[in-house]
Amino acid sequence: MSKVLFASISKKFVMALAGLFLLTFLPVHLIINLMLLKSDPASFNEAAHFMATFPPVKIFEVVLIASILIHVTYGIYLQISNWLVRPVGYVSGNKSETSFFSRFMIWTGATVLTFLVLHFFNFYFVKLGLVDGDPEDFYSMAHNLFKIPAYNYIYLSCFILLGFHLFHAFSSAFQTLGLNHRIWTPVVKKVALFYAILIPAGFGLISVTLWLFR
Amino acid sequence: MKLTLKIWRQKNAQVKGNFETYRMDNVSPEMAFLEMLDSLNKRLVEEDKDPVAFDHDCREGICGSCGMYINGHPHGPVPAITTCHLSMRFFKDGETVWIEPWRAKPFPVIKDLIVDRSAFDKIQIAGGYISVNTGSAPEANNILVPKNVSDEAFNSAICIGCGACVAACKNASAMLFVSARISQFALLPQGRIEAKARVRAMVDKMDEVGFGSCSNTGACEAECPKQIKLTNIARMNREFYKAF
């Protein structure tokens, strides 16, 4: 049984499941963040309060944090293992035709993880009481952050890279789960493209609007 | 035409290798790539030098022996052919051609461009077979197989085990090879009997001999001389999940 749990396919399976769960969370987060565009802070703060206190969401939160940890840990472990399998590289490089964004998953993932740490310090750790701030007024905290140009540059850059990561991750997860189909796989790839543009564009819209037009 | 060859030379697995440069004049565009290497070796022998060691056997694109990494591609820059089918007309006069062995820890260099691919044999031995009594061939129509299914199984079975998938993959993953071997049996009724044990044993051996894991880049499919499809890897994953 231990062989099954530690098989390369099993690790990819767990990583894909965790990744797919994270994919379901992003639209939820985006919908809540879109309330930042309203001039009245009440609805955003109420939504943030609901997400922080409603018991079923608390379970969702535990699964979410576990998914992030599993996805990141397995991602780093598998990448290092893969690098070690080719101790001597090719002088003439690798010119094989591949899915472009798949080559940089570890780097786009590392960028998103770095942003996530910053994001946790700005909001999640405030909610947990580990960092100073008002957990009942995330609206003002977010608006204040988006007034800082450097924060917007970092935010927008990270979301563009998140889009690159999502584009490959979405269809790759289906392939890893064994779901490759003559008709449905091209559809999944189109949905992946739509998703990978929509999510960063939505978050980017909030950043640009609050930075330049408020 | 004139070519500059940069060829990896390595006496054995214990010593470090390096690239040697060879100038080739009068290379005919009609030559096959291996014939070009033969002519280089003839010259080296005449000069009392050690010829370049490279694997080759059938020279018909069937045996999978002639694996070498040419200008950033396994089997060279032309898709869907083995090195022995690579014609020199695909190279330009004055071009520099880099020739390297497959690079992967489970494929250690034996000499120059020859690597030890017995890791593939170990995976095959682990489960790439069906257990049947020997004797005369059974009646072909005893077990009916739909044409589209037998075609798909055949498309997996044409894998020649050359190792180009491992060479092309940035993770040196052998999943295209292993999945083709699993698929050729999994698709047919004769292969279903031992399907669970087979996938467990072959995946276990694949991990044990030290190949990397798949990150679905598609380089293996793009470089496979027999155009084995990524759908095989998805099927292997499904078979693996079903086996427990």
Whole-number pLDDT of residue B133:
86
B186 within 8 A of B200, measured Cβ to Cβ: no
CATH number at residue B173: 1.10.1060.10
pLDDT tens, chain A, 214 aa long: 667 778 999 999 999 999 999 999 999 999 999 999 999 999 999 999 898 888 899 899 999 999 999 999 999 999 999 999 999 999 999 999 988 899 999 999 999 999 999 999 999 999 888 989 888 899 999 999 999 999 999 999 999 999 999 999 999 999 999 999 999 999 999 999 999 999 999 999 999 999 998 7
Chain B residue with CA closest to A9: the answer is B237
Structure tokens, A77: 């472990």
**B238: chain A residues, CB-CB within 8 Å:** 178
Domain boundary among B88, B110, B132: B110
Distance from CA of B105 to the nearest CA of A (A): 5
Closest among B226, B215, B155 to A108, alpha carbons compared = B215
Q: Is A93 in the B-facing interface, judged by CB distances under 8 Å? A: yes
Every domain of chain A and the residues it spans:
2-212
Q: Which of B82, B110, B138 is the last residue of a domain?
A: B110
The region that residue B96 occupies, defined by phi over 0 for left and psi between -120 and 50 for alpha, beta otherwise, is beta
Contact B86, B168 (CB under 8 A): no
Residues 6+ apart with CB under 8 A from A145: A122, A151
Q: What is the CATH number of domain A2-212?
A: 1.20.1300.10
DSSP string, A116-172: HHHHIIIIIHHHTTSSSS-TT-HHHHHHHHTT-HHHHHHHHHHHHHHHHHHHHHHHH
**Which residues in chain B touch residue A10, judged by CB atoms under 8 angstroms apart?**
240
Q: In which domain, by residue range, is B213 found?
A: 118-242
> Which residue in chain B has the smallest CA separation from A78?
B213
What is the overall mean pLDDT for chain B? 97
What the block records as the tokens of B86 is 């690579």
> Are residues B211 and B165 located together in one domain of the fold?
yes
Q: What is the pLDDT of residue A2?
A: 65
Identify the pLDDT of residue A1.
Answer: 61
Instruction: Write down which residue in B90, B110, B130 finishes a domain.
Output: B110
Residues of A in contact with B170 (CB under 8 A): 82, 86, 94, 98, 103
- Pair (B164, B228) in one structural domain: yes
Determine the Cα–Cα distance for residues A151 and A145; give it in Å rounded to an integer: 7
- Pick among A12, A96, A97, A177 to test the B interface (most B CBs inside 10 A): A96
> Is the complex ipTM more than 0.85?
yes
B96 and B129 share one domain: no
Mean pLDDT of B22-34: 97
Question: Are residues B94 and B151 part of one domain?
Answer: no
Which residues does chain A have within 8 Å of residue B222's beta carbon, measured at their own beta carbons?
A: 96-98
The terminus-to-terminus CA distance of chain A in angstroms comes to 58
| Shared-domain flag, residues B63 and B88 | yes
Q: Under a CB-based contact definition with an 8 Å cutoff, are residues B67 and B102 in contact?
A: yes
| Of the partner residues A7, A175, A179, the one whose CB lies closest to the CB of residue B207 | A7
Query: Structurally, how many domains does chain B consist of?
Result: 2
pTM for the full predicted model: 0.95
Where residue B89 sits, what CATH number does that domain have? 3.10.20.30
What confidence tens digit (pLDDT) does each residue in B155-175 have? 999 999 999 999 999 999 999
Looking at the structure, tell me whether residues B225 and B182 fall in a common domain: yes
CB proximity A103 to B under 8 Å: yes
Distance from CA of A3 to the nearest CA of B (A): 7
Pick the closest to residue B8 from A89, A149, A213 (CA basis).
A89
